[in-house]
Amino acid sequence: MLRLLVWHLMVIAAALIPSAAVPQPAPQRIVAIGDLHGDFEAWRAIAAAAGIADAKGQWTGGNATLVQVGDVVDRGPDSLKIIQDLMRLQKEAPRRGGRVVALLGNHEAMMMTDDMRYVHPGEYAAFADRDSKGRRDRNYEINKTAIEAAYRARTPDMSAAAIKEEWMKITPLGKIEYTLAWRPDGELGRWALDNPAVVKLGDSLFVHGGISSAYASQSVEDINRKVSTALKTRNAAPTAIINDPQGPLWYRGLVVRNDSDAATVAPVPPGSTVAPTILEEIDMVLRNYGVKRIVVGHTPTREGIIEGAGGKLWRTDSAISRAYGGKLTYLEIIGDRVTAHEVPRPASKPWSTQ
């Protein structure tokens, strides 16, 4: 009778625990791929070498888990092709016992808030269709008064013809469609909102930039909820979690410290008077999230994947994209064994700058 009572109490207690707090079994195999920045050929080569997807982008990873650590977009011309692959794999992998996690990077957040300063022209061209010219012309006419006012606020004597010519130059065909796709209700915006900023898998914590001491006391669920809210509202405030230099999408302080770069300056934790060192901050994150290692992207190096702090930090941004000219790599985690792999770069045509 006592055993039965204890069992019922355990069942009730388990039911009261939030599902997110219940420990999940660690994946048998995890493959992490760093920042891709529009390099579709590099992505396909890495995915094939890692046994995650074949030459056609179909899932071949079995029960493995793929984590792409963010920053698929910008710098290169073919992020749409990569995202389409990831979208498809996110549906295919679970049918075979696998999983695909596409983390949010700071560049995905930039797209959601209309910060297009690093967009390759090829990204816009991928969204152009037969009505793009007419759509652009109509957009100009509808907003003509506001556009002219904005230009003349900077250059009072600028003619209407010169304003239109300049606006058309900075609004290439496909840009309007690209911008709309990244709105919260757009195809790519909806996809981004479905993706997390932080994920914990077994003994590993994955995040694009890093977890600073300002966020280390917050749960994975809380961070992801705040990021999602900021993206939905397209919050461009510098203090918003998606723009905060010490937030999970931008922070580099687990890798380097530089007083002139706010994204590398560690905040002073509550109850303390001094900022932690890199090792102290890494240990704080490991302890608070109950993991053995942190896997990040965001801070590029052409040297390949870098192991830091005695295996507690793994940097996967090996400047994969041809825009940077680094190495094609992926990180493999099987139990406690963590292995960095390098992949030959495939031959391909030069990217157009037009």
Domain assignment present for residue 35? The answer is yes
Give the pair of three-digit tokens for residue 138: 């109509």
Please count the structural domains in the chain: 2
Are 71 and 219 found together in one domain? yes
**pLDDT for residue 294:** 98
Residues 216 and 301 in one domain: yes
Q: Does 28 reside within a domain? A: yes
Q: Give the whole-angstrom CA distance, residue 189 versus residue 182.
A: 4
Q: Has residue 179 been placed in a domain?
A: no
Please indicate, yes or no, if residue 41 is contained in any of the structural domains: yes
Residue 13 lies in a domain: no
Structural domain range at position 152: 129-173
- 10 in any annotated domain: no
Predicted pLDDT at 24 = 60
The answer to whether residues 142 and 155 belong to one domain is: yes
User: Are residue 133 and residue 69 in the same domain, yes or no?
Assistant: no
pLDDT tens-digit map of 7-31: 343 333 333 333 344 456 788 999 9
Residues 106 and 168 in one domain: no
Are 121 and 254 found together in one domain?
Answer: yes
Q: Are residues 196 and 75 in the same domain?
A: yes
Kindly report, residue by residue over 117-170, the tens digit of the pLDDT.
Answer: 999 999 999 999 999 999 999 999 999 999 999 999 999 999 999 999 999 999
**In what order do the strands lie in the sheet containing 198-201?**
198-201, 204-207, 293-296, 313-315, 306-308
Output the pLDDT for position 21: 43
Tokens of 320: 């994969």
The predicted structure's pLDDT at residue 23: 53
Lowest mean per-residue pLDDT among 2-16, 210-224, 230-244, 316-330? 2-16
SS (H, E, C) the chain: CHHHHHHHHHHHHHHHCCHHHCCCCCCCCEEEECCCCCCHHHHHHHHHHCCCECCCCCECCCCCEEEECCCCCCCCCCHHHHHHHHHHHHHHHHHCCCEEEECCCHHHHHHHCCCCCCCCHHHHHCCCCCCHHHHHHHHHHHCHHHHHHHHHHHCCCCCHHHHHHHHHHCCCCCHHHHHHHCCCCCHHHHHHHCCCCEEEECCEEEECCCCCCCCCCCCHHHHHHHHHHHHHCCCCCCCCCCCCCCCCCCCCCCCCCCCCCHHHCCCCCCCCCCCCCHHHHHHHHHHHHCCCEEEECCCCCCCCCEEEHHHCEEECCCCCCCCCCCCEEEEEEECCEEEEEEECCCCCCCCCCC
The domain that holds 233 is classified in CATH as 3.60.21.10
Residue 9's pLDDT is 36
CB 38 within 8 A of CB 71: no
Q: Are residues 166 and 191 in the same domain?
A: no
122 shares a domain with 133:
no
pTM for the predicted model, two decimal places? 0.90
Residue 8 included in any domain: no
Same domain for 196 and 110? yes
- Residue 190's pLDDT is 98
Q: Would you say residue 5 lies in a domain?
A: no
Long-range contacts of 45-53 (CB under 8 A, 24+ apart): 45/328, 45/343, 45/344, 45/345, 45/346, 46/320, 46/328, 46/329, 46/330, 46/343, 47/85, 49/328, 49/330, 49/341, 49/343, 50/330, 50/332, 50/341, 50/343, 52/89, 53/85, 53/89
pLDDT surpasses 60 at 6? no
| pLDDT greater than 50 at residue 5 | no
Q: How far apart (Å, rounded) are the C-alpha atoms in residues 88 and 95?
A: 12
Domain final residue, candidates 141, 173, 205: 173
Kindly state whether residues 87 and 29 are assigned to the same domain.
yes
328 and 215 together in one domain: yes
